[in-house]
């Protein structure tokens, strides 16, 4: 059962009802925790971070509506089920405005509550699966980017001394072959040599500083950009 993947916090000031519902739901869920009012419910919530909260409305210290509001303010995606008769329309309106996920009338019917929890659990599972898929896609993008980066490294940095020699000899070959039309063109090529060697040096330093276990996808693109051909 899908509920077995999720934890529940059940908040109810009646000890009899609290223990009864705890025992009733325990076989269906991963773990169930209880609290006897909204104050203790908040303390438990912060401590255990349950996946789903079930709460009565009328309780001492902090009532269920106040507790739900505090939870939703910080953890808006946490599903909350309110247990109430909703005799007052104003309570229903407040609950809807708070983003309460579902309502169960008291006295609670165990089968009805379990079906509602299953529905909530399914939505949670779908959301988790979608997030996992997104992370897998991001990881695949990172792997693909790494492959591109490695190809660039292999192309430009496998023999850096050869690259430097190529930079230097490219000028010499042009000189021997009388490829320069003017002294200004020749001087311009000579001036480019330190710039090209500096770029190669910067590329090597950039690779040395890479922590491939921590690098982010967007940073790989920047590294690939600095590995553009030198010549």
pLDDT bracket for residue 41 (50, 70, 90): very high
Please tell me whether residues 116 and 178 are part of one structural domain.
no
Say if 150 falls within a structural domain: no
Question: 103 and 196, same structural domain?
Answer: no
Q: 1 falls in which pLDDT band (50, 70, 90)?
A: confident
pLDDT digits (tens, 9 = 90+) for 202-229: 666 665 665 656 656 556 555 555 555 4
Report the pLDDT averaged over residues 103-108. 84
Listed residues 114, 132, 150: the one ending a domain: 132
Range of the domain at 87: 2-132
What is the number of structural domains in the chain?
Answer: 2
* d(C-alpha 78, C-alpha 55), whole Å: 13
Please give the Cα distance from 98 to 79 (Å, whole number). 11
Q: Tell me the mean pLDDT in the region 88-100.
A: 74
Choose between 47 and 197: higher pLDDT: 47
CATH code of 20's domain: 3.40.50.2300
- Same domain for 190 and 104, yes or no, is no
Answer whether 0.85 is exceeded by the pTM: no
* Residue-wise DSSP of 47-85: HH--SEEEEES--SSS-HHHHHHHHHHH-TTS-EEEE--
Q: Which of 119-128, 145-154, 222-231 bottoms out in mean pLDDT, i.e. has the lowest?
A: 222-231
**Does one domain contain both 120 and 165?**
no
Is the pLDDT at 43 greater than 90? The verdict is: yes
């Amino acid at each position: 059962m899908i509920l077995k993947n999720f934890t529940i916090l059940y908040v109810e000031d009646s000890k009899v009802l609290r223990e009864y519902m705890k025992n009733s739901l325990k076989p269906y869920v991963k773990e169930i925790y209880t609290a006897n009012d909204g104050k203790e419910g908040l303390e438990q919530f912060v401590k255990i971070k349950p996946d789903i909260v079930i709460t009565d409305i009328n309780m001492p210290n902090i009532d269920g509506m106040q507790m739900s509001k505090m939870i939703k303010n910080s953890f808006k995606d946490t599903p909350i089920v309110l247990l109430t008769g909703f005799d007052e329309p104003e309570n229903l309106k407040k609950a809807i405005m708070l983003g309460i996920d579902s309502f169960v009338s008291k006295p609670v019917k165990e089968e009805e509550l379990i079906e509602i929890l299953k529905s909530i659990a399914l939505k949670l599972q779908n959301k988790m699966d979608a997030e996992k898929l997104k992370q897998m896609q991001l990881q695949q993008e990172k792997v693909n980017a790494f492959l591109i980066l490695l190809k660039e490294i292999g192309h430009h940095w496998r023999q850096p001394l050869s690259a430097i020699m190529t930079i230097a000899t490219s000028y010499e070959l042009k000189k021997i072959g009388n490829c320069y039309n003017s002294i200004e063109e020749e001087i311009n090529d000579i001036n480019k040599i330190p710039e090209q060697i500096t770029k190669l040096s910067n590329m090597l330093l950039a690779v040395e500083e890479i922590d491939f276990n921590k690098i982010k996808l967007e940073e790989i693109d920047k590294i690939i950009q600095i590995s553009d051909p030198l010549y």
